[in-house]
Chain A
């Protein structure tokens, strides 16, 4: 259990190694995409153990805890990483843990080695017919679906009756509308039109699937917020450095109290978000209720205070904050993106309300 971000030595080592690797090979600048060899980068990440970290020992994994997994995503967020790490670091290991071992072991090996890639396809309007085993409907935006080899598809997530979790090989037979998101990442909407689903593609159904889908989506929320948090923390550091150097009216911007207070306010919000992230990390292994509360609280905080903190950074940076060549705008776009994914801010406020405020109306 970690109640402070000042954690034990191996955590610090993992974080420092990750940060160095990312800054050496994938630091953010406007030319990164042209230069980067993304396939080689993914292999290096696998060699560092990023995809084995979340797997249990029985699947050949390193059995890392929530803080360790989130620290990788945070560090990736700092450099505004654009590859689909979230699904492969935090979600696929969980789904594989829930599978039959005979099937899971070879998949886990390949995931750990960086040879296969998963994408998480959140539920949109998906429906799997129990009688015909045909899948209909569309998913919500799925990060990295175009470059994935396997799709984890959440179906019928609104009720235990219709819920199932599918593992499908990525296929051109499925209609895919690819989009570039405002934060530079790629995502796709998948349209399933009467697709036949073999029995062995169904990892879970009914009540078990319902609980697993909730867990996967909470993990997606917590992980995406960890990435956004890393971006925001890096963004505040960048902005504080900038206002110390930028001179107007004969003095550095950092000497003006109006600017100081804005940065202090953003600092307060970022530290509170770090607190919620610590909660999210322990809650990844906690009870379903606690995990749901932590995930939704984090998402709500990110979509409100987090975005406010980022917008203040643009404000004090002035005109340069509006330019595509400068990083802070991309931090803002990352936060805006995360706040729309895996359930909107308002949707999570409503969910949190149901969890926090016991309602007689909901009990019926």
Chain B
């Protein structure tokens, strides 16, 4: 795909590649390869390294500390981070909360919260979904009641990823029950150390703990914890979704994982004595995934090129979540085929290549069932395409 990049962009890629090679600690790269749920300190360490170079908030405007890159440069940067096995940065702080605060927050909120996100010192979680408001986000029932000097929040939030180590939550709560469901919601900044907050771990099918149910009982949020205007929370949430459409595709992670899987299948013996990857049926499956992966990469690049070159992205922007998430699952499905019987063991013994690789792939495979469900399930995305793009 080199034909798609300018000489300047290729030079930029080399610069990023060299930086990662020299600055990413090897133990962090190894941890990134081993598992899917990284510890807070590990993510923070890499965040700090990037921040010193001025690259942590690479998609933020320069006035808030961004490096002023084009969307294509950000694509290249993210691709290089993924291929160098750099830990993923915290999605909520960098992608969700930061842009929400610098777009809709007050200048006091910007000064107070953005530096911590940029440096990696503060961790955020997202409080949007609820037990009865999953894909149907407008059904949020958590309430925020106005009191002297602030708000009292009551309710519960579901699927709070990283909630057990987050400092703060961006929380969608109902401030007005007397208007249509979308119109009465507001966005708040909630301190996770508040005594009214309790968490219940939710163990996912990969046996990991990354998500929680959060209960909020009489949680006080001061007036300066409201983001923007009251009752505008839905508009803010939607605005952000429309500006971070390509992130959900996880195209760089998929490329990296697919490369690793290819390497694994090339290192394992096939039944006929040669390499597993050279068995015709296996080779065919890898090839078909590759064709889909490259089409995803170019589709994402089209969206970013439009943004870089000052055009409004076309309707292809609406498909990247669907095709990106389906592809992530196809890659780990193929991994299970590669692992064979080793892949179905709950624990892996020995130091064989298979045993070492199996744990991570099996966890990823199981946990990745989530990607077609979260961030607006793929069925919802299809309905949106049918209605808003095809006019059905």
Contacts and interface: CB of A to CB of B under 8 A. Distances in A.
Given A6-B314, A267-B390, A357-B287, A290 B299 contact: no
A99 B207 CA distance: 66
A272 B299 contact: yes
B311 A282 contact: no
A273 B292 CA distance: 10
Contacts of B102: none
Interface string B74-100: 000000000000000000000000000
B306 A6 contact: yes
Interface string B361-392: 00000000000000000010111011101111
A278 B314 contact: no
A265 B383 CA distance: 10
A349 B3 contact: no
B146 interface: no
A260 interface: yes
A289 to B, nearest CB: 10
B319 A267 contact: yes
B390 A279 contact: no
Contact of B392 (A240, A293, A304): A240
Given A3-B302, A267-B385, A297-B295, A356 B287 contact: yes
Interface string A266-304: 011001111110110011011100100100010011001
A101 B54 CA distance: 55
B382 A260 contact: yes
Given A268-B319, A275-B298, A276-B294, A4 B305 contact: yes
Contact of B302 (A1, A5, A243, A361): A5
B253 interface: no
Contact of A349 (B284, B381, B385): B284
A4 B386 contact: no
B301 interface: yes
Contact of B290 (A273, A282, A352, A361): A352
Name the prevailing secondary structure of the A interface residues. Answer: helix
A317 to B, nearest CB: 14
A357 B277 contact: yes
B243 interface: no
Nearest to B385: A264
A352 B288 CA distance: 9
Name the prevailing secondary structure of the B interface residues. Answer: helix
A244 interface: yes
A4 B316 CA distance: 10
Contact of A357 (B283, B292, B387, B390): B283
User: For A3, A254, A259, A297, which residue has the most chain B Cβ atoms within 10 angstroms?
Assistant: A3
Interface in B237-293: 262, 266, 274-275, 277-278, 283-284, 286-288, 290-292
B306 A264 contact: no
A308 to B, nearest CB: 13
A271 B390 contact: no
Interface string B292-326: 10111011011001100101001110010011000
A282 B288 contact: no
Given A260-B382, A352-B287, A1 B392 contact: no
Contacts of B323: 268, 272
A356 B283 CA distance: 10
Contacts of A3: 4, 72, 301-302, 305
Interface string A294-335: 000100110010000000000000000000000000000000
B291 A301 contact: yes
Contact of A276 (B275, B283, B295, B306): B295
A119 B357 CA distance: 53
A275 B6 CA distance: 18
22 contacts: A3-B72, A4-B314, A6-B314, A257-B383, A260-B382, A260-B383, A260-B387, A263-B392, A264-B390, A268-B319, A268-B385, A272-B296, A274-B316, A275-B301, A275-B302, A276-B298, A279-B294, A287-B3, A297-B291, A349-B288, A352-B287, A353-B286
Top 6 closest A-B pairs, CB basis?
A: A260-B386, A3-B305, A275-B298, A264-B382, A254-B392, A264-B385
Interface of B: 1-4, 6, 72, 262, 266, 274-275, 277-278, 283-284, 286-288, 290-292, 294-296, 298-299, 301-302, 305-306, 309, 311, 314-316, 319, 322-323, 379, 381-383, 385-387, 389-392
